[in-house]
Amino acid sequence: MKLSALGRIALATGIAVLTTAMLPGTPASAAPVKRKILPVLVEFNDASFQFPDKVKASTPDTYFGAKSDSAASFLSEVSRGQYTVVPAIKEQFLGPIKLDLSAAGCPQGKINQMTRDELAKRGLVAGKDYESLSIVFPAQKTECPWAGLATLPGPTTWINLYGTASGIDVVGHELGHNLGFGHQGRVQCTGGNLGACKEAGASHTSIMAGGYRPAGFSAPEMIRAGWLSGGASVKVTKSGVYTLRSLHGKGSGVRALDIALGGDRLVIEYRHAAGNFDAKLEGVHAYRVPKGSYGSSSLIDTTTANKTAANNAPPNTDAITKLTDKASKLSVAVVSSGGGQAKVKVALNGDSLASLDPTPSKSPTTTPTPSAATPTPSASAATEAMGDSSEPVTETGPEELTAAAEDSSTALPLAAAGGGAALLAVGLAFLFTKRRHRRRH
């Protein structure tokens, strides 16, 4: 798949060029955030990296390399220059450091504590010299049931490294957890009826689910991160026809509509190929944001066909054409979608969609292509019950493994981590597939 995790031996040529100019329509509300991250290679008293030189060579490249899928490049592009990671120290990473600790039993808490103690001995102060810590260690003896783990939100990521280099699908996903993003689910609201939705696995429109790096983050996550400020996200408070530009990519314009849905929010975005993102994603997509928790959104899927990163379903398979919610007297309909622009009718307070005149907005779209497949009406029980305000612990069940095996790449087990006080999110984007369990603590 997209994961080229193994054997990457690129030399670190320095820090990626991250000086993305401020874009029109993106007011310089704040200086770009450059978060100081410290990757530390760690070994155990009974386990070492098989090829330490290769791991050392790949690490700066994975985090700070000029390549488009380094963590720095990925975050810079997806945030449109508003956020990235920079090296906390001039050597860019530390280690390997030998911990007097056995790898057995995946002692993630001790790995974290002992690594931080070692950093303190070297005079490195958390929060000052480094803001984020990414601990990379050899996987062979840990039996950790994950490839990556992260505090949610928080400053720590763990990379349980099987090969000689980690990839953005893991590192970017874990750093997304650090930003406060949980795993993104999918709810099936067949026919677009928001009063009749059921949980239906994982979204494919974000690296926080099955979308991998080519999807970047979705609109709710971008809102949560503060990257759609300055008019890029519009809170819709009156009925009308709204024009959206693509969520990703340079330029100005409205990238997301944010609409009240009872106590929740409905977020609408338009996806279209832009830069390194969305080559295989097209159309207007919708999300339910529970209780204003933008890091815990679910893709609203109005069809029974599912787009995943592993199948060849058309890019607009899960694009919406129409949504209705009787309880909040809301209707949404896509007027046109394609060629980099979409027009969406939003009818609030029981207004009728038909009363909204889309004609003034007919011409600007260059080549309107019809959006998604026609939704199949049907209703099922269970309104979605989704999570929780602040800091969900998101866990996945072992059944992902079945489908993940199709991916052939690194089939790593992903299982329910123990939990406990620490808020940890187990992450393996590439193991996301059909079914998902979530548990909260």
Contacting positions for Zn ion (CB under 5 A): 425, 427
| β pairing state of 156-161 and 148-151 | antiparallel
| Residue showing tokens 């505090």 | 151
| Site of tokens 């926080």 | 208
Least spacing, CB of residue 429 vs Zn ion, in Å:
7
Burial of 335 (0-12, 13-18, 19+ CB in 10 A): buried
The distance of closest approach from Cβ of residue 99 to Zn ion in the complex, given in angstroms and rounded to an integer, is: 24
- What is the maximum alpha-carbon separation in the chain? 71
Q: Closest Cα to residue 8, out of 60, 77, 43, 86?
A: 60
Nearest CB to Zn ion, comparing residues 351 and 399: 399
Q: Which is nearer to Zn ion, 72 or 425 (CB)?
A: 425
Radius of gyration of the chain, Cα coordinates, nearest whole angstrom: 22
Residues in the chain: 441
Burial class, 359, CB count within 10 angstroms (exposed 0-12 / middle 13-18 / buried 19+): exposed
Query: Exposed e or buried b for every residue in 187-205, given b needs 16+ CB within 10 A?
Result: bbbbbbbbebbebbbbbbb
Q: Please say which residue, 103 or 426, places its beta carbon nearer to Zn ion.
A: 426
Burial class (CB in 10 A: 0-12, 13-18, 19+), 420: exposed
Closest distance of CB 62 from Zn ion, Å: 17
Distance CA 439, CA 441 (A): 7
One-letter identity of residue 321:
T
CB 361 within 8 A of CB 351: no
Buried b / exposed e over 369-386, threshold 16 CB at 10 Å, is eebbbebeeeeeeeebeb
- Closest contact distance (angstroms) between CB of 183 and Zn ion is 5
Shortest distance in whole angstroms from residue 333 CB to Zn ion:
34
User: How far apart are CB 396 and Zn ion at their closest, in Å?
Assistant: 8
Q: For residues 95 and 427, which CB has a smaller minimum distance to Zn ion in the complex? A: 427
Nearest residue (CB) to Zn ion, 44 versus 430:
430
Neighbours of 141 (CB within 10 A): 16
Give the pair of three-digit tokens for residue 253: 């314009």
Select the residue whose beta carbon is closest to Zn ion and give its number.
427
The least distance separating Zn ion from the CB of residue 104, rounded to whole angstroms, comes to 24
Q: How far is the CB of 323 from Zn ion (least distance, A)?
A: 28
The side-by-side arrangement of strands in the sheet containing 322-325 is 240-245, 341-347, 330-338, 322-325
Least distance in Å: CB of 206 to Zn ion? 11
Measured from the CB atom, is 183 or 345 closer to Zn ion? 183
End-to-end alpha-carbon separation of the chain, Å? Answer: 33
Q: How far is the CB of 173 from Zn ion (least distance, A)?
A: 5
Q: Residue 331 or residue 396: which is nearer to Zn ion going by CB?
A: 396
Which residue's CB is nearer to Zn ion, number 139 or number 425?
Answer: 425
Q: Which DSSP category does 130 fall into?
A: B
Q: Which is nearer to Zn ion, 152 or 200 (CB)?
A: 152
The residue (of 211 and 427) whose beta carbon lies closer to Zn ion is: 427
